A and B are shown apart, each in its own frame.
Chain A
Amino acid sequence: SQQGEEDPQALSIQEGENATMNCSYKTSINNLQWYRQNSGRGLVHLILIRSNEREKHSGRLRVTLDTSKKSSSLLITASRAADTASYFCATGPYNNNDMRFGAGTRLTVKP
């Protein structure tokens, strides 16, 4: 079963604009991770934020976590056409350390 839910399902912006995606989850977590997927193949890990952290940066990525609201956001600043991809949040660990993914946000950055 899925644990995270991203919104919006799809987002279309112009190059240079910022893109914000949100993730909500249901149960307590140890950490939350964001992944990127190009062309429906393998996912690539972008950034991890632990449950005791509120904000984290990596290059043009900024992630926030609000454990009281069970939600996270991923901000991509100064977007580029190459950022066009699907973005997924993953939460966990559950049970014996497995991670569960949301349905993803499809981001399109127009040049």
Chain B
Amino acid sequence: EPEVTQTPSHQVTQMGQEVILRCVPISNHLYFYWYRQILGQKVEFLVSFYNNEISEKSEIFDDQFSVERPDGSNFTLKIRSTKLEDSAMYFCASRRPGDEQYFGPGTRLTVT
């Protein structure tokens, strides 16, 4: 069964550094999402992406965040200058039209 994959599983970075989190959505899916979950808190929506553009974003998704689908298979989330409060699990999800969202296993980001 096809799955959403994410790399790396754990990323440690220093405050102020740029990070890129990578996702490979399921191959025939057209809608892509990023969510995050700070330890012990709710899963929060960050951004949705369709047809090579952002379709919706939350207040969390400020100018420090960007998304890209560079090559037709990967879907990336970039954080330009990480802060301590960016430490969280980041989940990628994808779906086909009319279908449900399938989530990846997540990347644990630790900002020190």
Partners in one complex: no
